[in-house]
């Protein structure tokens, strides 16, 4: 099934919809590319996306994420190991016990996940990057774009109250193309007021902020 076969709404809101079950899971299960901007990223979020993204299993799917530069210390330590070549050969056998994280490591090792960091470089922007957009693409080049949420932990116990606005390539082509261009410009570091770096470059050059006390979304 492709994205066009999903019964999508123009808007999902917490008081009326189960945003995870009705929107995120169906789109993740039927796309081969997922581009995402979030303000915070945790290991739990990344692992949960990898479990929901059915097409990762075939090796063809790809996730590109741009996130802000603030991390919980434990998340940053694990992300560094996942994305650093000097850790990958021994990481699975010695350090990773959780099934979700082992799957995540395999996906990273196959080059199916790319992570970049956006850092404001202008007084016109507050201290952290906080754009919230997402773009799904399927095998038929149909596209679903959305705005309005930063949470993808998919927790069944606690969720934010939020709304998601949805645009499709078959009903709102111009807006979808604009969101795709916005992400492309950001990914290629062509966006005003922010500098975008590969995750490992940012980590190795001490561009990231981290704290054991920050509460990240799980």
DSSP conformation letters of 55-120: GGGGT--EEEEEE-SEEEHHHHHHHHHHH-HHHHHHHHHHT---HHHHHHHHHHHTT-EEEEEEEE
Give dist(CA 200, CA 178) in Å, integer. 29
- What are the Cα distances from residue 87, in Å, to 43, 74, 79, 174, 180? 16, 16, 11, 43, 33
Domain 3-211 has CATH 3.20.20.70: no
Per residue of the chain (218 residues), what is the pLDDT tens digit?
899 999 999 999 988 888 888 999 899 989 999 999 998 888 888 888 887 777 776 778 899 999 999 999 989 998 998 898 755 554 454 544 566 777 788 888 888 999 999 998 877 666 778 889 999 999 999 999 999 875 565 555 545 678 899 999 999 999 999 999 999 999 999 999 999 999 999 999 999 988 776 554 44
What pairs with residue 135 in β-bridges? 35, 145
Q: Are 63 and 34 in contact (CB under 8 A)?
A: yes
Give dist(CA 90, CA 216) in Å, integer. 28
pTM for this structure? 0.87
Residue spans of the domains in the chain: they are 3-211
């Amino acid at each position: 099934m492709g994205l066009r076969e999903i019964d999508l709404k123009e808007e999902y809101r917490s008081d009326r919809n189960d945003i995870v079950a009705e929107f995120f899971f169906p789109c993740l299960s039927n796309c081969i590319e997922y581009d995402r901007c979030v303000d915070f990223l945790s290991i739990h979020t990344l692992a949960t996306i990898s479990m929901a993204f059915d097409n990762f299993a075939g090796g063809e799917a790809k996730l590109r994420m741009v996130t802000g530069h603030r991390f919980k210390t434990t998340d940053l330590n694990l992300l560094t190991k996942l994305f650093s070549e000097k850790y990958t050969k021994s990481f699975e056998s010695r350090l990773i016990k959780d099934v979700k994280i082992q799957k995540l490591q395999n996906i990273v090792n196959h080059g199916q996940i790319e992570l970049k960091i956006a850092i404001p470089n202008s007084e016109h922007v507050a201290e952290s990057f906080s754009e919230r957009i997402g773009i799904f693409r399927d095998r038929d080049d149909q596209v679903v774009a959305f705005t309005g949420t930063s949470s993808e932990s998919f927790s069944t116990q606690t969720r934010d109250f939020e709304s998601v606005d949805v645009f499709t390539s078959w009903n709102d082509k111009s807006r979808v193309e604009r969101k795709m261009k916005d992400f492309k410009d950001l990914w290629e570091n062509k966006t005003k007021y922010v500098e975008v770096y590969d995750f490992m470059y940012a980590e190795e050059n001490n561009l990231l902020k981290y704290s054991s006390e920050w509460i990240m979304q799980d």
